[in-house]
Structure 1
Amino acid sequence: MGGIVVVRDGFGPEVLLVHGGAGPRTTWGALASLADRWTLALVHRRGYPPSPPPRVRQDFEVDAQDLAPLLAAGPHVVAHSYGALGALTAAAAAPGRVRSLTLIEPPLTHLVPGDREVARLARIGDAVLAQGMEADPAELREFLRLAGAPVGDGPLPESVVAGVRRAQGSRPASEARPPLDMVRGAGIPVLVASGGHASAHERICDALADALGGERAVYRGAGHFVAAAPGFAERLESFLLADARG
């Protein structure tokens, strides 16, 4: 299938940045100042140029396969949304190669069984991935807002429509079952972060931090794109440095 592209910038220990549905620059732009002290390795998942398109569909298992050789250098891994599914899967397969793991609002809805809001997030998320622009209009807008897209009351921006079409046919996030016990058992330092904008995401992140024995952080002000929230870059660097000192 050909390898994915990783664009590196900066100096120092490597921080592997794995984006979700939005591209790497949109997701990680607010962390650019860290390049003064860290090597920021921006992964471009399949379907996001200059990486090749997926052979069949976006799939977190394929993401994990693509990420596996990138763990050989022992990077810190920071992953967002759908991208965190592949990152967790790759980390669980080779936990000794991951220096630390930061997970931002991953859609691991199975961690909170019986919760109506989490179940709704899973349902509408799967529907949008399956049906794209043909999904129920109200549910499509609801999901896009939860996903941080710039959605108002008028027509959807062309960039948002393009993102929906790119994601259509992706493997449903609800199918992801990364072996969290492998990550926790390896003692990987973990930070789980959310944006305080949706109770479903908060409950998922609470459950994930508990399952992994990780730190938990909430940074408001940027919705789903938590990396852009005030104070997040500083907290992330503090977390990375704590591991380096350890």
Structure 2
Amino acid sequence: MDEVVVVRAGSGPEILLVHGGAGPRTTWGALSVLTDRWTLAYVHRRGYPPSPAPRARQDYEVDALDLAPLLVNRPHVVAHSYGVLGTLAAVATAPDSVRSLTLIEPPLAFLVPDDPDVARLEHLGDVVLTHGMDTDPAELREFLRLAGAPVDDGPLPPEMVAGVRRAHGARLTSRARPRLDLIRRARVPVLVASGDHAAAHERICDALAAALDGERAVHPGAGHFVAAAPGFADRLDTFCRTNEN
């Protein structure tokens, strides 16, 4: 089997959940309260069991190909971080295939040119994806903190090291140029959410919401893992209900 695995829970219309660098359980665990009203479809990107390993590396262009067949029943789609890149690429090719699109803290620095905080975030992401555990330790920890990892001054936990190694060699986020114009032109309902923990993420999310003519939400309390923040599940439920057509 070469297809990615989707694990479904709950009943009702489908919300397709596309994680980023962390796995589905870490990213979406707090949304289980929605299963009385919605079917939550947890995508496991390549390299995240039980899905197969990547053909070569983590790659948002491959993610887009994997996601395209999952849109045939017009789900609501929620994507986080690196997972937003493949999601946008898939939706841009068939924007009428989704009911709504919720995007959480994506690495889309090109939307905010000449901003030093955003440029720093992009630099750190590229360095870590290029060098993995050979990244300068201070820069690696800085990036991991921005990515929501609970990093202290001690040795990195084994699961964190495994995550860095899994991301090593991935297609660089700085090269992503999703066709936002196609999504906006199709008038896809969009919600862009952030966690109010880093200026760079806030500015990128502001620019993305403007580019897609979308709604904007800020939910502090869980860092980069905004889906776990107070109030987010209720906001997502309301947004999806409003666009259930």
Question: What TM-score comes out, normalization by structure 2 length?
Answer: 0.99
Partner residue, 1:203: 203
The CA deviation at 1:237 is 0.4
Structure 1 gap ranges (5+):
none
> RMSD of aligned C-alpha atoms?
0.8
**For 1:128-179, what per-residue CA distance to the aligned partner results, in whole angstroms no more than 9, with x for missing partners?**
0110110011010000000011111111111111100111010001111100
Residue identity opposite 1:52 in structure 2: P
Q: CA offsets per residue over residues 83-123 of structure 1, 9 Å max, x none?
A: 00000110111101011000000000100000011011001
Equivalent in the alignment of 1:70: 70
Quick one: distance in 2 between partners of 1:17 and 1:87? Answer: 10
CA separation in 2, counterparts of 1:94 and 1:10? 26
Query: What residue in structure 2 maps to residue 4 of structure 1?
Result: 4
Q: 1:85 and 2:85 equivalent?
A: yes
For the residues of structure 2 that align with 1:150 and 1:4, how far apart are their CA atoms? 28
Residue type of the partner of 2:170? S
Show the 5 A alignment for 1:75-224.
75-224=75-224
1:44 deviates by: 0.2
Cα distance between partner residues in 2 of 1:60 and 1:175: 10
Counterparts of 1:108 and 1:60 in 2: how far apart (Å)?
13
* Aligned-partner residue type, residue 3 of structure 1: E
Distance 1:35 1:169 in 2: 36
Task: Verify: 1:49 aligned to 2:54, yes or no.
Answer: no
What does the per-residue CA deviation read over 1:3-26, in whole Å, with 9 as the maximum and x for residues that have no partner? 000000000000000000000011
How far the C-alpha of 1:36 sits from its partner, in A, is 0.8
Aligned-residue offset at 1:42: 0.1
Cα distance, 1:225 vs structure 2: 0.0
**Alignment partner of 1:73: what SS?**
coil
1:37 aligns with 2:37: yes
CA drift of 1:212 comes to 0.1
Question: Matched residues in 2 for 1:6 and 1:177: separation?
Answer: 26
| Structure-2 separation of matches of 1:159 and 1:148 | 14
Amino acid of the structure 2 residue aligned with 1:107: P
Q: CA deviation at 1:78?
A: 0.1
User: Structure 2: any 5+ residue segments left out of the alignment?
Assistant: none
1:21 aligns with 2:21: yes
Q: Kindly tell me the number of residue pairs found equivalent between the two proteins.
A: 245
The equivalent residue for 1:225 is 225
